[in-house]
Amino acid sequence: MSITIHHGHLYSFFFYFLLLQPQQFFVAAGTIPAVIVFGDSSVDTGNNNGIQTLLKSNFEPYGRDFDGGRPTGRFSNGRVPVDFFSEYFGLKKTVPAYLDPSFSMEDFVTGVNFASAGTGYDNTTSQVLNVIPLWKEVDYYKEYQVKLREFVGAEKANEIISKGVYLVSMGTNDFLENYYLLPTTRACYTIQEFEDKLIGIAKQFVEEIYSLGARKISLAGVPPMGCLPLERTINFMATLECNEDYNNVAREFNAKMHDLVKLLNKQLPGIHVVFSNPYNSLLQIIKRPSLFGMDVTYRACCGTGLVEMGYLCVLDNPWACLDANKYVFWDSFHPTEKTNQIMAQHLFKTVLHRFL
Ligand SMILES: *[C@@H]1O[C@H](CO)[C@@H](O)[C@H](O)[C@H]1NC(C)=O
């Protein structure tokens, strides 16, 4: 195999280089007591199963490569990034969903997930598919704190709350399910104003969980939204090409999120916020899948790969691909487990390890 490294591809080279040494991958034990998750389908591990929404994934073919081939409500064929982060911090290999009745406080001591597929920073986003709004995720977190103090005692609970790592990932739905779908939102805001509104909500959210005791917080950026298979399929400007307008918005939003991270670190004593940006690494995988042992990038594994997500994946189950590891995307909106793992390793090595 020969690899030509062009001047402009230095980043790609380092990213590839990092992936060449999986055996040296560092798993830490003991320093992080728990991971606590807020966000959307990029990190939901099953909270939507029990709520009245059409946006679910607790049926086949979802989860077919998960432990036991079990659908869990994760929007992938296997684990999602927060599951890998939990493992890399030396904790469990999966993060239990707070609303899943098969888990109890005993399971939530080392990790708990409040994320809900389809949600976003803006309240309106959660209304589109009737999922859990961010303020309600925070309400559940407050309830969790009370139960945690009862379960492990105040001292241990405070340690879990202040030394736990908070993984926050959302924003894509605010743009794709809200701003670009609802004329009412577009009538109120320019895209820059809307980005600023979301950043303002993210700031308030961090201030709130900080006031509740959170100190180690990862804010995720948004992916190259224009390259999601669904957005390529419906890109009327150039069918099956990435929608560059959406990618530009993603980069602009991520830059503002990065600035917010710097601001929060200056303003709030004792806080440690990091910016976990999936944009460049996901784009790299999409543009050069062969470097990562994959070959299908513009369409997903489930169904025809062009439009299916959620219940549509069941209907088109017979057409699902045979080997999801060859695909960057599992459904038209969400990465495969393989992509999730590559991105999680990269983000852990470059950013999240700083919490250790
Ligand atoms: C979202 O809705 C909740 C509940 O109605 C409200 O308390 C909160 O202020 C709203 N958030 C924003 C940013 O408008």
pLDDT at position 2, please? 38
Among 119, 122, 123, which residue has the most ligand 1 atoms within 8 Å of its CB, making it the best to mutate?
123
The rounded Cα 327 to chain-centroid distance in angstroms is 18
Which two structure tokens, joined as six digits, stand for 142?
């407050």
pLDDT at position 348, please? 97
CA 135–ligand 1 middle distance (angstroms): 7
Report the alpha-carbon distance of residue 173 to residue 333 in Å, rounded: 10
Domain map of the chain by residue range? 29-224+246-294+337-355
Each residue's pLDDT tens digit, 18-42 = 554 444 456 666 799 999 999 999 9
pLDDT at position 318, please? 86
DSSP letters along 225-245, please?
Answer: GGGSHHHHHT-SSSTTS--HH
Residue 150 above 60 pLDDT?
A: yes
pLDDT at position 15, please? 56
Report the alpha-carbon distance of residue 104 to residue 15 in Å, rounded: 39
Helix (H, G, I), strand (E, B) or coil at 333: coil
Question: How far are the Cα atoms of 39, 61, 111, 129 from residue 310, in angstroms, in the given order?
Answer: 18, 10, 26, 12
Q: What is the DSSP letter of 219?
A: E
pLDDT at position 22, please? 46
Nearest-CA neighbor of 214 among 160, 262, 279?
A: 160
Each residue's pLDDT tens digit, 56-84 = 999 999 999 999 999 999 999 999 999 99
Tell me what the mean pLDDT of segment 189-207 comes to: 98
Among 119, 131, 135, which residue has the most ligand 1 atoms within 8 Å of its CB, making it the best to mutate?
135
Residue 317 beta carbon below 6 angstroms from any ligand 1 atom: no
Q: What is the DSSP letter of 354?
A: G
DSSP letters along 152-207, please?
Answer: H-HHHHHHHHHHSEEEEE--HHIIIIIITT-HHHHHH--HHHHHHHHHHHHHHHHH
Q: What is the DSSP letter of 59?
A: S
CA 151–ligand 1 middle distance (angstroms): 30
Residue 138 beta carbon below 6 angstroms from any ligand 1 atom: no
Catalytic residue list: 41, 331, 334
Residue 174 above 90 pLDDT?
A: yes
pTM of the model: 0.94
pLDDT at position 188, please? 97
pLDDT at position 316, please? 83
Each residue's pLDDT tens digit, 292-331 = 999 999 999 999 999 999 999 998 888 999 999 999 999 9
Residue 3 above 70 pLDDT?
A: no
Q: Which CATH fold would you assign to the domain 29-224+246-294+337-355? A: Rossmann fold (3.40.50)
Residue 123 beta carbon below 6 angstroms from any ligand 1 atom: yes
Each residue's pLDDT tens digit, 203-257 = 999 999 999 999 999 999 999 999 999 999 999 889 899 999 999 999 999 999 9
Report the alpha-carbon distance of residue 257 to residue 350 in Å, rounded: 17
